[in-house]
Structure formats: structure tokens, C-alpha cells
Structure 1
């Protein structure tokens, strides 16, 4: 009996290995429109040419979206904060050795993903933020340039002309629903009032988005990461979920990886990427793992906007979403030379 069982298990392992090898390398990334497809294709082309360079492929894909200013929500020239400045967040994770580099509130440097890679490779730290992240980038040879464009200036002007609506303030005076600041604490507001059912800001793919990406090479080694310019009209200094490991993205080299996109102020509270990977660890499919992560957030914030993608070392992938009708994501695998777009219905 033991010999028969051992033979069966060996056969199943061999079958899984064959299936996996046919689907690897694998690139899975958020959003399915043309620029995001191009970013996914850039990563997939790179990993096909260099089958073991998963982190380089990841950074190439994220950087492609930055240079294309995907949806004006990734890279320079989009999502200005309340002062009119564009700032960037990015995260790079590598499964072997559980290595990480991230930047948040990065200013005056266009190459956020490459700076995150530099943090991982040239320091013993994991996360640098703000002006000091800019100083580090300059020291590493990156070029300083303005992240403000005519497009972002127009966004900011229109927002000011609309009485600074929408914004991210509450319990302050003057009334943030009617006028611009500067604001001060409203002494008449209930102290420490945190109502999870309060109306959410109008997040959408137009107002806020992230490119999140998972790359699995032909060895089955995993990398994951993100890049974004954050929420439009955010309070200066705000950092969203994107550069936070377990929130914006996560990977475990024994399992696979996941990434999130959407309302980062909500999503970072639940670590959906970590949760999705942990569910895959217990044998759940990527699609079901993403659904569990989404439903965990939806239970507290029913109308929040976001999506999670997930992929495992067998080359399987899936996604789930909330707050929109459908969500599209990009996949490149060993069965084709070009990436394909998959679409799922949202909760």
C-alpha cells in the first residue's frame, strides 16, 4: 500500500511539475486597458528573454507603466495632492530571502520602482519616504525633475475651483464638504469618532489606481510589486497601501504572490495581499483566495472600491473585486507570446 501511495504521489508531483512548467514564466498585473497591457507585456517580454530574472522583469513592467503615466494614476504628472504636487509610492518584493525595497511620498524623482529596487539592493533598510527618499535616489544617481505637468496642474486648478471637492478631511472646521482649508480641529465634533459606515470618497479607476504585478520565473521563484502616484487630492504626506508589504503586494517563494489596487486607505487596514497568499498556502485557488480577501474588507466597508490579483507557483491565477461592475487584469504565461486580458465580475 505504501509503495502504491508513494507511486501515486510521485506521479501527481510529476504532473504538477509538467503543468507548472507549461505555464511558467508567468506575469499577472492589474487593469486591462492598453497602457497597463503594455506594462504587462514589457515584463513578460523581459522574463521570456531572461527566464530567471524575475525582479528585473517586475521592475521593467512597473517602470513601463510609470513612463506611460498609466491612467494618470501611475508615474509623474497625475493625482496631485492638495498642494498640487505629484508624489510617488512603489514596492519591490523578491521571494527568495524575502527581500524588499519600498519608497513612499517620493518627490521629484520619476523612477519610483527603480528607486524601490535600489533601496532593496543598496541598503539594509526596507522602506524610505519623503524628501529623504529623494536624497537617497540622488545619491544613487537618479535625476531630479519636476513631477508636475500641464495635466496635473489642470486637475489641481479644477479641484480648487470646485471648492476643494472631494477631499479627505473630517471633524474639522471650516466644513470640508463645502469649502477649502486650511482646516483646524472642530471642537464641536465628537472626539475620536470613527464610523466605518461613513460615506467613502468617490474612488474609481479614474481618480485612483495602482499597477500591481506578480512575476514567477521558470524556476518557480516569485517577485511582486506596485507603483502608483496615490489618491488624487490627498493630504500632503499621505502614503497609501501600495508600498506596504502585505497590503499593496506580497509574495512567498513557497506559495506565490498577490497584489491589490483601489482605495488604499481602506485596503491597508486588512493586508489583503498577505491574506490572499496565506489562503493559497492552505490550498485555496488564486481566484478563491482573492475573493476571500475582498470579502474580508467588504464585510466592514461594503461599498469600498478595489481589487486583488493572485497567482501561485503552478501558474494558476485569479482575481476578485468590489465597487465596480467588472475588473480586468493582464496575464502572460508560457502558453503564449503575448499577454491576454481576463475579466471577472465584481461583488
Structure 2
């Protein structure tokens, strides 16, 4: 009898873990049909209007969220004027341009590359890792070899302009990240397509003149990017070390799972970074997030961060709320 009572009570408790939030109105699928007029929707870190425009227009034509985020961030990977993403990115202290990127699909699959040296479109290599291998992450020479095997062309990512800036930096070798400039090191993007499915991508060349081998939060699932197609998603930008130590994007999604709005969840994540970093005034960290209803939030440490939102043919740059 005691065993039966134990099993019965355990079953009720187990059910309560998932059923109680839904009973309290936290079910992200509630009234989803009524939210369809908000979809499709694209948000991306910083003011990268060409990237969000590309993704948004693809979604308007019926593309999947996964295709849209890949094609969207590829715009900045190929933008030679953007020295923080893709080709033309600032090199590390040894003169190497190394790229980090990840991508997540609505079904929870993910792919990532770190320390990729010879391919502009790191996000596309990351997608191939997700779709063509049993792994989530490939690094360094292995990532470059895999890219070649997948048919990606090998190219020199160090442009004349970024090399000239590097040569100038070598004169002093002084390294102090500039808030909203050298911390402006990532494009992260989230898309909801017409079916209400969410995908995300994050790509970066990392901090300018970083130590050889340094990897930030951008390619780390749960730090630079995380999503749950039943809940929502989040992406990060800024000082990767602080974001990694808080697993910020995962935290935001879990807070939304508990019923917090995207804005509340982003604020909680930033506050956690602030509370554990006494030097928070010296760097930037920022998050953007969306939930399954298409509600959006953003928060950062320092004034100056903004995100771009594409919806119903309108591309809008929105200043983020900030702590300091």
C-alpha cells in the first residue's frame, strides 16, 4: 500500500512540474493562432539594417526561420566595412582573423564552429556541422578541413584595411576594449516564420587583437544563443567572458519558461552579470529576446546598444534600455 501511495504521489508531483505553469496561464502556445498577425518577425543585435531586411524579406516570401537567420547574418559576414564579423574582421594579436559562429533550428538541433580561419561564412559552416555530422561543434583545423570537404572555398580573411589597422596597433600593443566599439563584436539574430517556428544564429570575429586562441560566447550554445521553440529565444553581444560565465541566453529562455516577459528576462540576466562582476562599468553586455507570442525584450549594461526589428515590411532600429 505504501508503495502504491508513493507511486501515485510521485506521478502527481511529476505532472505538476509541467502542468502547473500551464494551468497558471504560462502555456506559450495559448492563443498562438491569435498571434499570427505578428509573424513573421526578425530581431538582430546592433543596427544592422541590411541583415534584418534580408531575413525579413525572405520570411515575407515564406522562407523558414532557419534559412532566414542564416541568410540574414551572412550579409554582415561579407560586409568588409564591419570589422567585427566575417571577412575583414580585426585579427588576433598574432595577425590571424578567426571566426566563431553557431546556429539553432526550431527542433533544437544546433551547430557551431570556433577558430575558423579561412571561410567568410562561418554560420553556413556551422549549419553544415549541424546537418551533416553527429557533432555540435568543430574547432580550428578540423573546422577548416570540414569546410573544405563541404565545398566551401578557402580565402584570406585579412583585408588590406584590417591589416593596416593591425600594423598600427602593433606599435603600442595596447589593449583596452572600447565600450560599444570593440565590444560591438557580434551579430545575433532571431526569426519567427509564418508557422510560428523560431530559429537563431550568432556570428563574430571576436574582440579586436584578442589573444591567439581566444573564443567568446558567440559560438557557445546557451551563452551567445539559445532557443526553445515552445518558449522563445535569446542572443547576446558584448564581453563574451562575462556572458559565458552566466550562460545568459539559456538563463533568459528559462526565465521566460517560468512566465517572465522577454524584457523582464533580459533585465534579470544583465543584473546577474552586474552582481557577479565588480568591474561591470568597464565593459558592455547586452541581450535581446523574443517569446513564442512575438513579444520582444532587450537590456544592456551601458547606454549605446540598440537592436533592429523587422516586421510587416518595416525595419526599425530600437535603442535598448540600459542599467548604467
Q: What TM-score do the two structures reach when normalised by structure 1?
A: 0.81
The 8 Å contact of residues 101 and 114 in structure 2, kept in 1 or not, is answered as: yes
1:159 aligns with 2:159: no
Q: Which residue pairs with 1:29 in the alignment?
A: 44
Q: Distance in 2 between matches of 1:242 and 1:313?
A: 23
1-side partners of 2:78 and 2:142: how far apart? 23
Q: What CA distance in whole angstroms lies between the structure 2 residues aligned with 1:217 and 1:234?
A: 36
Shift of 1:259: 0.1
2:65·2:191 contact (CA, 8 Å) conserved in 1? yes
- Partners of 2:179 and 2:95 in 1: how far apart? 20
| TM-aligned CA deviation for residue 254 of structure 1 | 0.7
Match of 1:73 among 62, 79, 84: 84
> How much is the aligned-residue C-alpha RMSD, in angstroms?
1.9
User: Which range moves more in the overlay, 115-124 or 62-71?
Assistant: 62-71
Q: Which residue of 1 aligns with 2:97?
A: 86
Q: Render the CA deviation track for 1:82-124: whole Å, top value 9, x for unaligned.
A: 111111011000121x100100000111111110111011111
Contact 1:80 1:155 in 2 (8 A): no
Q: Relative to 1, partners in 2 of residues 1:14 and 1:211: Cα closer, same or farther, differing over 3 Å?
A: closer
Match runs of 1:127-142 below 5 Å: 127-142=137-152
Gaps of 5+ in 1: 1-8, 167-200
1:109 matched residue in structure 2: 119
- Hey, what does 1:176 align to over in structure 2? none
Match of 1:198 in 2: none
CA distance in 2 between counterparts of 1:145 and 1:110 reads: 8
Partner SS, residue 296 of structure 1: helix
Q: In the alignment, which of 186, 207, 213 is matched to residue 237 of structure 1?
A: 213
Contact 1:84–1:152 (Cα < 8 Å) also in 2:
no
Task: Indicate the residue corresponding to 1:204 in structure 2.
Answer: 179
What is the count of residue pairs matched by the alignment?
295
Give the distance between the partners of 1:102 and 1:15, measured in 2 at CA: 32
Separation in 2 of the partners of 1:300 and 1:253? 30
